[in-house]
Structure 1
């Protein structure tokens, strides 16, 4: 295990979530599944307790801790994309697997984890500052999934 790992709390589906992420995002994998050695408040001996996985190179641990805690938008994965095809692929995979669209490139997977599917053209436009950033930001504010062509057009004015 790495020195710093993101721990994500799930009710009972940490392994399903980790396997889904590994199927969607490059540089992602499920690296270990650990079963509970004894009964615990939300499970029994032998149940999947933790799952070690990576998402786009980021080390994570999924913990099947039960229904006590829920995810919120206060934590999200931000995935940088190169073009509309990559943006669509990730966004559509999350939504098609029981997720929900949100605003400004955000969506939520079926386990409640928030994702920012963010084309680099958008982050580049915002980093440019000035009127270019203002136009790109205004365009983004009208979107759910980011439209690369619309952001590019907004950048140009």
Structure 2
């Protein structure tokens, strides 16, 4: 097996979503795109399928018709380098109809779920000291967008 590539299935808005993701994420790159011809089922010239990368992770996006709605049961974790990156990505994903959710999750305007995590958070909640890990987890449970300085203070008992 060469790789596993998540495919995001859309019903008519794939190109709009593709452009949004390419403009939202640093290091995003379009690999290739194909369009419907005369045989449909989409309109001639409409995006059929595209492959792209977000920070090196390959995705595909499909204008497949009869979309099955996205579910929060499947999401992408975004491990951000620092709080500034968390803030920037969060603001873009939650804009124009995106919905902020508890515990660092955000549902973008297309209904896809992302969990925006600052580097260091997972290490806190999986720390061998259950008291410290528990304090970090309790702090996170009160947040929508994760705030690394606040999480760190809770972890350290301050």
* TM-score normalised per structure 2: 0.90
Does structure 1 conserve the Cα–Cα contact (< 8 Å) formed by 2:9 and 2:67?
no
Aligned alpha-carbon RMSD (Å) = 1.5
Following TM superposition, the consecutive aligned residue runs of length 4 or more in structure 1 with deviations greater than 4 angstroms are none
1:9-88 equivalence runs, <5 A: 9-37=9-37, 38-40=39-41, 43-88=42-87
Partner of 2:91: 92
Q: Distance in 1 between matches of 2:3 and 2:144?
A: 36
- Give the paired residue count: 154
Report the equivalent of 2:154.
154
Give the TM-score normalised by structure 1: 0.91
- Following superposition, the deviation at residue 114 of structure 1 comes to 0.3
User: Hey, what's the Cα distance between the residues in 2 that align with 1:57 and 1:67?
Assistant: 29
1:3 Cα deviation from its structure 2 partner: 4.2
CA contact (8 A) 2:10 2:67 kept: no
Unaligned runs of 5+ in 2: none
Q: Tell me, what secondary structure is at the counterpart of 2:9?
A: strand
Residue 97 of structure 1: CA displacement?
3.5
